[in-house]
Amino acid sequence: MEPMSEEHTVDPIDSASNPVKAQEQALDHVKPELPENVRVRFCPSPTGTPHVGMVRTALFNWAEARHTGGTLVFRIEDTDAVRDSEESYNQIIDALKWLGIDWDEGIEVGGPDGPYRQSERGEFYKEAARKLLEAGYAYESFSTPEETAARNVAAGRPKEFGYDGYDRTLTEEQKAAFRAEGRKPAIRIKMPDEDIVFDDLIRGRIEFKAGSVPDYVIVRPNGDPLYTLTNPVDDAMMNINVVLRGEDLLPSTPRQIVLYQYLIKLGIARQMPLFGHMPYVMGEGNKKLSKRDPESNLFLHRENGFIKEGLLNYLALLGWSISPDNDIFSMEEMVEAFDVRDVKANPAHFDLKKAISINAEHIRMLEPQDFLNRSVPYLFKEGLVSADNWDALTEWEQEVLTKAAPLVQSRVRLLGEVGGMVGSLLSTEEYIAPDKDAVKQLKDSSADVLDAAIAACENISDDGWTTDNLHETLTDVLVEKGGYKPRLAFGPVRVAMSGRRVSPPLFESMEIVGKDISVARLKGLREHLAEIRG
């Protein structure tokens, strides 16, 4: 008979056939007191691009540590050689540093309990597994998935029911016979025949009925330790006393509680940690937000122009709020108010429109120079400026952007929108072809409006080329004397200046661009008007 294959050694914890979720129930709303010296951890696996669920977990752990004056430990769970990547590891570091989520012990910082990458902690897991076996808390399991399924059917249970504890009572002779066949054993933890009850920091009291959680694998037949062992052992050895993690890991909690009980008896763990399971983040269609959903991609949000203050503010609202009537707050304010026990258990919905709206509020709160400094990389990426940082820009570029900042900052929601607003101000082109949306603003009266505007602007002196004078002159010529409504009067002028339907304030823009280019753009649109309108 063939040895048990590695990919079939972990019992599913969230399948329809598993009774864990069905028997999990919140009995009341008991929420325990936090320990005096809070130690939390953030321990992602480097298996993909950082996503909003991962960042929300990091943020809540960080906020709890900072609120309580505790310690945040950052470690990497990289024992999956197939899926883990150094690129993903570097992206996680990049994400945390960009967002300003710092940590006290762990990766790149060091600490008393290193190393902080699981791939470098193999000896700790071997030693823990050895002690668990010797103490009788774990046992060798030779059963194949096919054999387990057959036994379930023979006993009148669904074949997917899960592992049945068969190997608990194997004799040494039976084990030797399996080894003679070439089988290598997995190592399973003995689950006690009793209810497992704990008080969740977010969900209150939760009970798992006796027998609802089968004996589970902690080491594969090839000797590789699984998450079910490595995660609790690391938490124990790093003295983590508050475990804040996603709701999807709740079915594994009774396993960890039992393992912790064993680790305490073995002297590996000092205490049982408190657990808090944060709500799912839901996407469109009331489905759990997938790592593959665009809304989930942290770096896509950064590329689109979210600033860290806005994104963190919104992510904090995914399960928590600072007060019923205030959605806008700083991280300092969050730290002051945060208590994980106030996090709601109900699923949180990721609303991109609301996230963008909150980001816009934080952009408006930036100091003007800070706004410009953060905008320059986006402008450079679009080819609108000569460098990717403020200090390296030309004097003329700095002058234009400084004048433009107060016109643009209050009108953009994302830094990625700044280029569309200031591109025409940074351009020396004498004709800007209008986009489709702008062409719709060019009505039958546009030719006469442009002719009148050109004549009026040519008669303004260089000294008189100011925002107030431009406003007064063109209003007089086009609205008061020309009889055009403001929308018809200034729409074609705006299109000529920017090529866009929406742009910075018109007369301020004309002053920034200057008389020569402004007149040239009015003439350019007039010249192309017939072909543009078709």
What's the pLDDT tens digit per position in 505-526?
999 999 999 999 999 999 999 9
| CATH code, domain carrying 230 | 3.90.800.10
291 is an active site residue:
yes
Q: Give the per-residue pLDDT at 79.
A: 86
- Which residues, in sequence order, are CB contacts of 113 under 8 Å at separation 6+? 73, 105, 237, 238, 239
Q: Are residues 130 and 67 in the same domain?
A: no
Q: Which residues are annotated as a binding site for ATP?
A: 291
First and final C-alpha spacing in the chain: 79
Q: Are residues 124 and 261 in the same domain?
A: yes
| CATH code, domain carrying 352 | 3.40.50.620
Q: Are residues 196 and 339 in the same domain?
A: no
Task: Compute the average pLDDT of residues 435-447.
Answer: 93
Q: Are residues 360 and 376 in the same domain?
A: no
Q: Residue 226 CB: number of other CB atoms within 10 A?
A: 20
Q: Is the peptide bond before 115 cis (omega within 30 degrees of 0)?
A: yes
Confidence of residue 183 (pLDDT cuts 50, 70, 90): very high
Please write the tens of the pLDDT for every residue from 12-56. 333 333 333 433 444 445 679 999 999 999 999 999 899 999 999
Which one-letter amino acid corresponds to residue 532?
I
Which 3-state string (H, E, C) describes 297-311?
A: EHHHHHHHCCCHHHH
| CB-based contact 76:108 (threshold 8 Å) | no
Please write the tens of the pLDDT for every residue from 460-482. 999 999 999 999 999 999 999 99
Q: Are residues 170 and 312 in the same domain?
A: no
Q: Is residue 78 part of a domain?
A: yes
In the predicted structure, residue 132 carries a pLDDT above the cut 60? yes
Which one-letter amino acid corresponds to residue 291?
K
Please write the tens of the pLDDT for every residue from 326-350. 999 999 999 999 999 999 999 999 9
Q: Are residues 82 and 162 in the same domain?
A: no
* Domain enclosing residue 99, as ranges: 29-107+279-365
Q: Are residues 262 and 133 in the same domain?
A: yes
Q: Are residues 88 and 142 in the same domain?
A: no
CB-count burial class (<10 Å; 0-12, 13-18, 19+) for 62: buried
Q: Give the per-residue pLDDT at 171.
A: 96
Q: Are residues 252 and 296 in the same domain?
A: no
In the predicted structure, residue 291 carries a pLDDT above the cut 70? yes
Q: Give the per-residue pLDDT at 7.
A: 32
Please write the tens of the pLDDT for every residue from 217-229. 999 999 999 999 9
Residue with token string 């040239």: 520
Q: Is residue 72 part of a domain?
A: yes
Q: Are residues 93 and 174 in the same domain?
A: no
Which 3-state string (H, E, C) describes 474-519?
A: HHHHHHHHCCCCHHHHHHHHHHHHHCCCCCCCHHHHHHHHCHHHHH
Q: Are residues 144 and 242 in the same domain?
A: yes
**Total tally of structural domains belonging to the chain:** 4
- Poorest-pLDDT segment among 26-30, 73-77, 284-288: 26-30
Q: Are residues 266 and 291 in the same domain?
A: no
pTM: 0.90
Instruction: Please state the separation of Cα 365 from the chain's center in Å.
Output: 22
Q: Which of 190, 291, 308, 344 is catalytic?
A: 291
